[in-house]
């Protein structure tokens, strides 16, 4: 096997909010094209890891390397420009703007023209707008959003909003995609659609992904490797099969599922 | 595609400035009416409308920073003042009582006033980057008090309170725009010039807000966290919004007193900022046409209330009665603001959208 540098290398990060340790000693790597999943009970620190990766929080210890760039201390918009995109556990769309405008915002860094060309709207501004609008149309096709194009996203059903947020991240043409609970709160049909899109992204676009998810079935079906977390610490990282059979994992996570889901895991 | 006016056949058409036929037709009709008005109404009404058009330029500016980028600024009067004094000083009589440099060419001092105000905006903007919401509103309010003090004291520039100074001298290609000429009166000329300027600055602003920059403003306004993780530099766009807004304020300030010919440093109080906020809110935050409607409405309001004593005798036309037109005006601002905020947060623009949708579905509307 040829030696390829990992897309992402997270090394021993620790993040605490005065008193509460949210992430403690977490390390993992994500290889090109890989779908890496993070699971763990509520409050385990999964979202906090994403916030560290995308520059929203600065960890007290550890390092994050993304395509051989050190990300610690870098501001979120610079990290985005390097090719990291994410979706949020609680949808963070621009709810007054239309689907098209939300996706165009995903292409913010693919356009370079400034305020002066914007005023004139000729030449460069117009050219770049048209080219990027057509790229947005590709995302709309890919995620089957045609019928919603002109709606302010705040008016759309929850499942569609989740899809638009995925679209906004895809419009960035990222090298790494972070998905925070992409199917949380969705019905069976919406969950299946989302699973299909995640598979399509991997197969057709080859983008590496990190997915935080509660839906065990989905994680076990889709992920190449899984990291299980509890109380900010990683318990076990391995293939879905290895992880499922680990006694510590069963105790910490699956046990919790048994309790909360009334015995149905 | 005549039968289906809203069927777009290309992105270019979809993204065009006036992307549907009804929009083109109604805009064309408005243009024709506005250009015919100077030959149909009296000079004092023309002067009022000209002032309204200039106010609209200023309101568009406030709308860019507050309506689009979500940074509530009470400091608009300060930037209007900077524009007003830059324009007046640049074009003023070099031998006059107050500072003047005799550069009377209108495009030159209009641009210069905009740029000086924009520079002031950039200097103030770092506050906006650190503060938000009410804190920003209060700090920008501080600017107004600061400016008010400086302009009252600096009598070589401003003439001092109660005295004032002449407004900017409008001259274009050797023609004085405020003096009656062979074909047009001063009021007609000024009306037309202000209208053309409003169209120019309105079109530029519309282009801006539908561009990458305008979308970034909206993103910063609606969700700054999401904006930054998709690659929008929050600091850069907040500063840019302030700079552009101040540029518009500077341009408007320089032109605002030209129809009157004179202005006093007392004009730039908090009340002026509040009037512009009212224009934006009543017109509808986040739309260019709304800002124009709001500005015209607020500018024409005193004129309408002044007619009231004739109809309603209990309202006094001068400052001596128990209930004067001036009190009425102040009350009206307040009431209108509250009514619009509660009933129609999208302002006059929202009402216009409703009317338009009514006719669009006619005869099936209800
Ligand atoms: N901004 C914050 N301030 C204080 N505590 C936080 C903050 N964000 C997360 N935490 C705490 O960090 C822990 C991990 O939270 P989170 O990463 O959201 O967990 P998960 O996504 O796995 O459910 C929780 O105890 C949470 O209360
Ligand atoms: Mg979470």
- Cβ(A51) – ligand 1 distance below 6 Å: no
The reported pLDDT for the residue numbered B71 is 85
Q: Which residues of A touch B (CB under 8 A)?
A: 54-56, 75-77, 79-81, 85-86, 88, 92-97, 101, 104-106, 108-109, 111, 113-115, 118-121, 125, 128-130, 133-134, 137, 168-169, 172
* Residue pLDDT, tens place only, A116-142: 888 988 888 888 998 999 999 999 999
The reported pLDDT for the residue numbered B365 is 45
Give the Å distances, CA to CA, from B227 to A143, A231, B43, B223, B249.
22, 30, 49, 6, 27
Fold entry, domain A88-174: Rossmann fold (3.40.50)
Contact status, residue B177 vs residue B192, Cβ threshold 8 Å:
no
Contact status, residue B110 vs residue B83, Cβ threshold 8 Å:
no
Contact status, residue B139 vs residue B131, Cβ threshold 8 Å:
yes
* Residue pLDDT, tens place only, A70-83: 999 999 999 999 99
* CB-nearest partner of A129 from B15, B223, B286: B15
- ipTM of the complex in this document: 0.89
Domain count, chain B: 1
* Residue pLDDT, tens place only, B328-349: 777 887 788 788 777 777 777 7
Ligand 1 pocket: which of A19, A45, A214, A233 to mutate (most atoms within 8 A of CB)? A45
Taking residues A210-229, report their average pLDDT: 88
Max Cα-Cα span within chain B: 68
- Cβ(A46) – ligand 1 distance below 6 Å: yes
B171 three-class SS: strand
> In the CATH scheme, what is the code of domain A1-27+37-84+217-265?
3.40.50.300
Chain B partners within 8 Å of A137 (Cβ): 11
In CATH, what number is assigned to the domain containing residue B201?
Answer: 1.10.3470
pLDDT over 50 (residue A265): no
* Boundaries of domain holding B258: 43-361
Chain A partners within 8 Å of B215 (Cβ): 97, 101, 104-105, 108
The reported pLDDT for the residue numbered A107 is 95
| Shortest-distance Cα residue to atom 1 of ligand 1 | A17
Q: Nearest ligand to the C-alpha of residue A38? A: 1
Ligand 1 centre from B134 Cα, in Å? 28
Taking residues A23-41, report their average pLDDT: 93
- The ranges of chain B with pLDDT < 70 are 1-17, 313-322, 355-366
Give the span between the Cα atoms of B260 and B219, in whole angstroms.
40
| Shortest-distance Cα residue to atom 8 of ligand 1 | A48
The reported pLDDT for the residue numbered B230 is 95
Q: What is the CA radius of gyration of chain A?
A: 19
CB contact under 8 A, B225 and A101: no
Q: Nearest ligand to the C-alpha of residue A181? A: 2
Full 3-state SS string of chain A: CCCCCCCEEEEEEEEEECCEEEEEEEEEEECCCCEEEEECCCCCCHHHHHHHHCCCCCCCEEEEEECCEECCCCCHHHHHHCCEEECCCCCCCCCCCEHHHHHHHHCHHHCCCCHHHHHHCCCHHHHHHHHHHHHHHHHHHHCCCHHHCCCEHHHCCHHHHHHHHHHHHHHCCCCEEEEECCCCCCCHHHHHHHHHHHHHHHHHHCCEEEEECCCHHHHHHHCCEEEEEECCEEEEEECHHHHHHCHHHHHHHHHHHHHHCCCCC
Chain B partners within 8 Å of A134 (Cβ): 11
The more confidently predicted of residues B337 and A182 is A182
* Residue pLDDT, tens place only, A100-122: 999 999 999 999 988 888 898 88
Taking residues A160-164, report their average pLDDT: 94
Give the Å distances, CA to CA, from A67 to A49, A208, B125.
18, 12, 35
* CB-nearest partner of B207 from A54, A109, A119: A119
The pTM is what? Answer: 0.88
Chain A partners within 8 Å of B230 (Cβ): 80, 85, 105-106, 108, 168-169, 172
| Shortest-distance Cα residue to atom 16 of ligand 1 | A45
Chain A partners within 8 Å of B223 (Cβ): 92-94
Interface check for B223 against chain A (CB to CB < 8 A): the answer is yes
Domain boundaries, chain A: 1-27+37-84+217-265, 88-174
Per CATH, A1-27+37-84+217-265 and A88-174 having the same topology is answered: yes
CB contact under 8 A, B17 and A121: yes
The reported pLDDT for the residue numbered B316 is 67
Ligand 1 centre from A229 Cα, in Å? 13
């Amino acid at each position: 096997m040829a030696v390829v540098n990992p897309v992402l290398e997270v090394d021993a990060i620790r993040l605490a909010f005065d008193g509460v340790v949210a992430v403690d000693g977490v390390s993992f790597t994500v290889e090109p094209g890989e779908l890496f999943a993070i699971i763990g009970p509520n409050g385990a620190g999964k979202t906090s890891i994403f916030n560290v990766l995308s520059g929203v929080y600065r960890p007290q210890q550890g390092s994050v390397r993304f395509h051989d760039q050190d990300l610690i201390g870098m501001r979120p918009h610079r990290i985005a420009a390097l090719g990291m995109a994410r979706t949020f556990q609680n949808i963070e769309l621009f709810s007054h703007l239309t689907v098209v405008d939300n996706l165009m915002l995903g292409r913010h860094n693919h356009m370079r023209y400034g305020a002066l060309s914007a005023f004139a709207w000729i030449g460069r501004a117009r050219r770049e707008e048209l080219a990027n609008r057509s790229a947005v149309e590709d995302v709309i096709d890919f995620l089957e959003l045609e019928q919603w194009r002109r709606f302010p996203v705040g008016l759309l059903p929850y499942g569609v909003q989740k899809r638009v947020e995925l679209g906004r991240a895809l419009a960035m043409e990222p090298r790494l995609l972070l998905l925070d609970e992409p199917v949380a709160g969705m019905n069976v049909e919406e969950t299946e659609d989302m699973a299909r899109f995640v598979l399509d992204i991997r197969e057709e676009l080859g983008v590496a992904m990190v997915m935080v998810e509660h839906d065990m079935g989905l994680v076990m079906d889709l992920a190449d490797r899984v990291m299980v977390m509890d109380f900010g610490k990683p318990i076990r990282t391995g293939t879905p099969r290895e992880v499922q059979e680990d006694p510590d994992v069963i105790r910490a996570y699956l046990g919790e599922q048994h309790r909360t889901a009334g015995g149905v895991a | 595609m005549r039968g289906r006016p809203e069927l777009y056949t290309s992105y270019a058409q979809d993204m065009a400035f006036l992307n549907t036929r009804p929009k083109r037709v109604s805009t064309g009709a408005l243009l024709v009416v506005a250009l015919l008005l100077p030959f149909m109404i009296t000079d004092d009404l023309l002067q009022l409308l000209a002032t309204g058009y200039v106010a609209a330029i200023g309101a568009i500016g406030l709308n860019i920073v507050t309506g689009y980028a979500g940074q509530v600024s009470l400091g608009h009067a300060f930037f209007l003042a900077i524009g007003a004094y830059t324009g007046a000083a640049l074009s003023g009589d070099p031998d006059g009582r107050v500072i003047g440099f005799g550069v009377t060419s209108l495009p030159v001092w209009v641009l210069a006033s905009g740029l000086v105000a924009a520079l002031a905006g950039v200097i103030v903007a770092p506050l906006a980057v650190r503060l938000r919401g009410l804190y920003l509103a209060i700090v920008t309010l501080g600017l107004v008090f600061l400016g008010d003090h400086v302009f009252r004291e600096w009598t070589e520039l401003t003439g001092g309170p109660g005295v004032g100074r002449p407004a900017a001298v409008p001259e274009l290609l050797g023609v004085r725009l405020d003096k009656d000429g062979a074909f047009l009166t001063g009021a007609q000329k000024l009306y037309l010039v202000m209208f053309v300027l409003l169209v120019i600055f309105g079109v530029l602003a519309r282009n801006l807000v539908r561009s990458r920059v305008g979308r970034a403003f909206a993103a910063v306004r609606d969700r700054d966290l999401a904006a930054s993780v998709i690659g929008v530099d929050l600091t850069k766009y907040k500063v840019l919004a302030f700079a552009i807004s101040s540029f518009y304020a500077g341009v408007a300030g320089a032109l605002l007193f030209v129809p009157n010919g004179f202005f006093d440093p007392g004009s730039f109080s908090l009340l002026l900022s509040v009037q512009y906020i009212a224009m934006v809110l009543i017109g509808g935050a986040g739309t260019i046409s709304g800002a124009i409607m709001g500005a015209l409405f607020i500018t024409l309001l005193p004129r309408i209330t002044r007619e009231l004593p004739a109809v309603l005798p209990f309202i006094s036309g001068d400052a001596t009665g128990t209930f004067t037109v001036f009190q009425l005006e102040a009350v009206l601002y307040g009431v209108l603001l509250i009514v619009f905020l509660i009933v129609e947060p999208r302002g006059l623009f929202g009402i216009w959208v409703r009317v338009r949708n009514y006719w669009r579905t006619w005869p099936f509307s209800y």
